[in-house]
Amino acid sequence: MNARRRQLISIVKHKFMSCLDPTQQILEEKREIKRKCELLLKIYDEGRIEKMKDAISKYKVAARAALVEWIEYADEPKPDPALLIQNAGFDPEILDLLTAD
């Protein structure tokens, strides 16, 4: 009788734990979502987004200036800036350049 009781307890524990696993997984997923939301709020609150936008803007200005210098040293006829950037392996849209097709 005692062995049967232990077996039933073991089965009940196993079933209970298997029900708990999906619940635990859901809780972990919710904790991860909460953590990501808190990070986003922290980034937004600290003004990092504005700092990133400013940095990107400065890099675009520097890249355009470098492109102008690069074209200045090119032979005639002067190459299309967008094609020049594309041939260098970059996306012309990053610098708001359109290809002259």
Q: Which residues contact 50 (CB under 8 A, 6 or more apart)?
A: none
Where b means 16+ CB within 10 Å and e means fewer, 50-84 reads eeeeeeeeeeeeeeeeebeeeeeeeeeeeebbbeb
DSSP state of 62: H
Q: Are the beta carbons of 95 and 67 closer than 8 angstroms?
A: yes
Query: Sorting pLDDT into bands at 50, 70 and 90, what band is 55?
Result: very high
How many structural domains compose the chain?
2
Q: Are residues 9 and 42 in the same domain?
A: yes
* Residue of 70, 77, 80 lying closest to 101 (CA atoms): 80
Q: Are residues 56 and 27 in the same domain?
A: no
Residue 81 domain boundaries: 49-95
101: pLDDT strictly greater than 60: no
Quick one: pLDDT at residue 58? 93
Quick one: pLDDT at residue 99? 59
